[in-house]
Amino acid sequence: MGNGKKSVLSSLLMNEEVFLNRHLMFGQDDENEIVTENAAFVHGEPCQDADGPPRVDSAVEILQEKVTKQIIKEGHGQKPSKYSTCFLHYRAWTESTQHKFDDTWQEQRPLEMVLGKEKKEMTGLGIGVSSMKSGERSLLHVGWELGYGKEGSFSFPNVPPMADIIYEVELIGFDETKEGKARSDMTVEERIGTADRRKMDGNAFFKEEKLEEAMQQYEMAIAYMGDDFMFQLFGKYRDMALAVKNPCHLNMAASLIKLKRYEEAISHCGIVLSEDENNVKALFRRGKARAELGQTEAAREDFLKAQKYSPDDKAIARELRLLADHDKAVYQKQKEIYKGIFGPRPESKPKRTNWLIMIWQWFLSLFYCLFRRQRQKSD
């Protein structure tokens, strides 16, 4: 390994070690400390009402004779130029049958695309992406000529011949590189270093409460640390990669909790816990997300496990007290409900005496007695 590569590795290891030693695991304002902790990536799946393409009312922009675009969510910053390395999520449907044939959100694996070097069947998608800003989500209509062509594809994905395509696309972000260098062409040090820079940019956005921008940076960092890359690492290199990747996931979880996207936050915590089952931050944040969803028993389990490894942490103790108070409130409410259902029978009020009826009954009795006496005499 050359001296340049050694210096990069040494710098990364030294910075991470200093960072880990200086960072407090939890504090009174834990959510504000998230920026400086260990974490990793992934933008959650956008909401949709059905399996088909989303309905969009925005104006139609003609990008090319066979490509049109409608913006679903505005992005920010500049647009990528030719040979930029773009990271994006997308869903794809055949326009005629509304059959979904690809979904990177479902796979939780964003696509890497170098503009100008994309596959032939993604020419139309590349035209659409080149018109987008970071964070933008749009609906693209692509003619078959710029998609899978006259013959289609009968393997994976399965696309019929001459099929026009609808894409729902979100541009996570991009790197401007003149030579269009893909992740697969980078060295280990280059990929980890690039991801670490993205993580630090995300931390800066997080401090400014720009959560969407922060998550985009964390997603980009995680994209560089994909499963295919992590499987090849071991020893020192794997530790270096995890020191970048896991903090991004944890910071993503913190951002998603602030945005009340609790299911996605739980997913990111789960990714960290799959690598480190005793990670206190991941347990704590998953517990908070579960508590917000009303999953109190699962939340309590996470908090208790986190407390086992960090017994003096005040934030964990506070969350456990909140759960205990919640349990008491629920118990009291149930007690009041059951008291009304199974309580003692109310005493019946004494009926008021109706004197008119009593006099009438007395006259009838008297008349009956006189009638009986008269009949006895006759007999």
pLDDT of 150 reads: 92
Give the span between the Cα atoms of 320 and 314, in whole angstroms: 10
pLDDT of 312 reads: 92
Strand partners, 64: 67
Burial class (CB in 10 A: 0-12, 13-18, 19+), 7: exposed
Which is nearest to 180 in space by CA: 232, 217, 126?
A: 126
User: What is the tens place of the pLDDT at every residue in 177-204?
Assistant: 655 667 778 888 988 998 999 899 999 9
pLDDT of 279 reads: 95
Give the span between the Cα atoms of 164 and 145, in whole angstroms: 8
Is the CB of residue 231 less than 8 Å from the CB of residue 253? no
Give the span between the Cα atoms of 271 and 222, in whole angstroms: 11
pLDDT of 26 reads: 36
pLDDT of 207 reads: 92
Which is nearest to 34 in space by CA: 220, 206, 280?
A: 206
pTM of the model as a whole: 0.64
Sketch out the chain's domains with CATH numbers: 7-36+186-321 (1.25.40.10), 61-175 (3.10.50.40)
> pLDDT under 70 in the chain at which residues?
1-50, 177-181, 338-353, 379
The phi and psi torsions of 232 (rounded to 5 degrees) equal: -90, -10
pLDDT of 49 reads: 43
pLDDT of 10 reads: 43
**Cis preceding linkage at 157, omega within 30:** yes
